[in-house]
Amino acid sequence: MRLFLCEKPSQAKDIAKVLGATQRGNGCINGDGVTITWCVGHLLETAPPEAYDESYKKWSLSQLPIVPDKWLLTVKKETQSQFKTVKALLKKTTELIIATDADREGEMIARELIDYCSYRGKVKRLWLSALNESSIRQALSSLKDGNETLPLYHSALSRSRADWLIGMNLSRLFTLLGRHAGYDGVLTVGRVQTPTLTLVVNRDMQIEKFVAKPYWTITAKLANNQTPFIANWIPPEAVTDEQGRCIHQNVADSVFNQILSGPKMAQVLSVTTEAVKETAPLAFDLTTLQVVCSNKFGFEAQETLDIAQALYEKHKATTYPRSDCGYLPESMRSEAAVVLDAIGKTDPSMLPVLAKLDITIQSRIWNDKKLTAHHGIIPTLEPVNLGSMTEKERLMYQLIRSHYLAQFMPQHVYNRTVAQLQCNDALFQATGKQIVEMGWRSLMKDTSEEEVLDTTQSQVLPPLTEGMVCELKHAELETKQTKPPKPYTQGELIKDMKNIAKYVTDPRLKQKLRDTTGIGTEATRAGIIKNLITRGFLISKGKSIRSTGAAFSLMAFVPKTITDPGMTAIWEQALDDIEQGHITIDDFIAKQSQWITQLVQQYAQSSMSIEPTKTPAKETLPCPECGAATVRRNGQYGEFLACSRYPECKGIIKGKSKSKKK
């Protein structure tokens, strides 16, 4: 039997359609001599420490570090039934085609099953960048040999095991040190979550330590032939800060007084005009969608992902959401007419807009060379029911739709004019924007990420020429204060996780992080932020997120090698070396184990400074599962004691029922 192993049911359905397989089975789709099944993400996970030794259930410094001699995997409880299906199919398979996502993680999802289930048959690789019919047919005609992509599995497995070593050992280490200081919560540490938390802590420290400084501006209201416009004073460099703001009040006062006492006029020194052409924005990738939805609608990162997932799975309205790419395969251009027709049938109010589109426009979005494992998020080929969507789902659908429609509209074109004027020996500058062609912006005035993130306002200048004299109508001197950095929103934090390279100084590491799109992935960043909130390291305040006292204490205590995103870049270089066969998994894990051992030895006898957890009103008992402290919670059936390590440990002590009087 020939078996296709996909990552998700939706992939299996698309591939089955091309293969002509239509018979639904239990967790699979059958055809003539072929079966297509799926994994629902990872069906296996790295076993917890207690799977190696029962004594690890109770956390102790004396047990650290925990470094497995032989690594174990366990079947995920929530997807046990699908695992059984895949395992049974592998036993009957003579040729396996891996059809998971075309990346490291997709390779690992399939290969760990192959190893765990001891499959020894032929292996081929279906390498897909898109799930439209033509892309699938092309990939089916050029299957890769399984050995070609095996190194991807080795690098993904190395990353997974190294993440386990850091997470399990250092989380236990710093949690136990925290307990000695009176803090009963869990202090988790991770390769991605810790640098992410550091970003927020550092931003909050900048805000806390910020001291406002005054600066002065002069604004002149000028006129040419009774047409008013605004010009701003350009102070000399000798009296400005790095942002070009005047920081010497006496200079600003002197210039302002000269303007008021002198002739009420300003002479044009120079005028430059350039034509600016803006191409339409790409389709959304998940990060950009999270940024725009956070800033525009106040959506949390996980909420944006959940809504996008609902549009994809429930409503079949948009394509796969966990994409890190805004480009589309060139082969999908032929489907544009079908997509536009579906949009018109979905929302007839869009028909006047659709009538103005030019399907022959060659947008930059169609580019096979820019594709990653997934293409940009766009509307699907079939009409959908807008009435079945929630308000938030409709808002997001309209965002995604607008970005797609923009590809078939002209460029946004405007003339940008910069005029410099002299008023009583003081230099002023006026900037104007004259729109020539609205183009795609007529469709996206309130929806594009550019509009959301760019608050720059521009005026229309009257005709100006060098030497022309303009009338000075009014001048105003203002004292202003520098403002502290703004707190992170979830969208902005996601964006900085992706663009983490800007916080790294080493040129080689900086480039590596750019090449690997930062820390975390499109699929995991929202979950990392959610976990930091759940574990009490971050709190939401309106649209903003702020770090807690525990986060400040932990980030001040853990080694810089953990908080520095440069470590991820070093790892990525090592993972590349594993892919290329320069080093082995064992070499990489041995180095990580040695490093973890040194950190444990270095910190095991240290004292952490952290605010103790408030003593509960009633005495609590240790967790029956792991021995950690418990905290009182109220549930459906009254008060109970829950492990402070939740969700890592789910041990509870149920409340005692009151005895009946005899």
- Kindly state whether residues 402 and 417 are assigned to the same domain: no
Across the chain, mean pLDDT equals 90
Q: Residue 580 domain-assigned? A: yes
pLDDT at 458 over 50: yes
Task: Say whether 153 is catalytic.
Answer: no
- Kindly state whether residues 642 and 559 are assigned to the same domain: no
Higher-pLDDT residue of 616 and 355 is 355
- Kindly state whether residues 189 and 293 are assigned to the same domain: no
pLDDT at 28: 97
- Kindly state whether residues 15 and 123 are assigned to the same domain: yes
pLDDT at 456: 35
Q: Residue 299 domain-assigned? A: yes
CATH of the domain at 573: 1.10.460.10
| Tens digits of residue pLDDT in 77-96 | 999 999 999 999 999 999 99
Instruction: Say how many C-beta atoms besides its own lie within 10 A of residue 624's C-beta.
Output: 14
pLDDT at 658: 38
| Tens digits of residue pLDDT in 204-219 | 999 999 999 999 999 9
Spatial contact of 199 and 496, defined as CB atoms under 8 Å apart: yes
Single-letter code of the amino acid located at 609? S
Domain that residue 637 falls in: 614-662
The widest CA-to-CA distance across the chain, in whole angstroms, is 106
- Kindly state whether residues 81 and 49 are assigned to the same domain: yes
Higher-pLDDT residue of 515 and 460 is 460
Q: Residue 312 domain-assigned? A: yes
Spatial contact of 653 and 630, defined as CB atoms under 8 Å apart: yes
Q: Residue 153 domain-assigned? A: no
- Kindly state whether residues 257 and 340 are assigned to the same domain: no
Q: Residue 151 domain-assigned? A: no
Q: Residue 155 domain-assigned? A: no
Q: Residue 149 domain-assigned? A: no
CATH of the domain at 26: 3.40.50.140
- Kindly state whether residues 589 and 635 are assigned to the same domain: no
Single-letter code of the amino acid located at 293? C
Q: Residue 325 domain-assigned? A: yes
DSSP secondary structure letter of residue 96:
E
State which of 89, 113, 142 marks the end of a domain: 142
pLDDT at 382: 87
* Percent of the chain's residues with pLDDT above 70: 91
- Kindly state whether residues 230 and 314 are assigned to the same domain: no
Q: Which of 183, 320, 327, 404 is flagged as catalytic?
A: 320
- Kindly state whether residues 135 and 22 are assigned to the same domain: yes
State which of 570, 603, 636 marks the end of a domain: 603
Q: How many domains does the chain have?
A: 5
Percent of the chain that is helix, strand, coil (3-state, to 5): 45, 20, 35
**Predicted TM-score (pTM) of this structure:** 0.82
pLDDT at 190 over 60: yes
Q: In Å, what is the CA distance from 328 to each residue of 115, 142, 336, 404?
A: 34, 20, 11, 10
Question: In the predicted model, what is the mean pLDDT of residues 527-535?
Answer: 91
Provide the pLDDT confidence category of residue 622 given band limits of 50, 70 and 90: low
| Tens digits of residue pLDDT in 625-644 | 665 667 766 665 566 777 76
State which of 457, 481, 505 marks the end of a domain: 481
Question: In the predicted model, what is the mean pLDDT of residues 301-317?
Answer: 90
pLDDT at 129 over 80: no
- Kindly state whether residues 248 and 360 are assigned to the same domain: no
CATH of the domain at 230: 2.70.20.10
- Kindly state whether residues 80 and 189 are assigned to the same domain: no
pLDDT at 520 over 50: yes
- Kindly state whether residues 384 and 349 are assigned to the same domain: yes
* 48-52, 109-113, 461-465, 610-614: least confident range: 610-614
pLDDT at 134 over 80: no
Note the Cα 235 to chain centre separation in Å: 40
Distance CA 431, CA 418 (A): 5
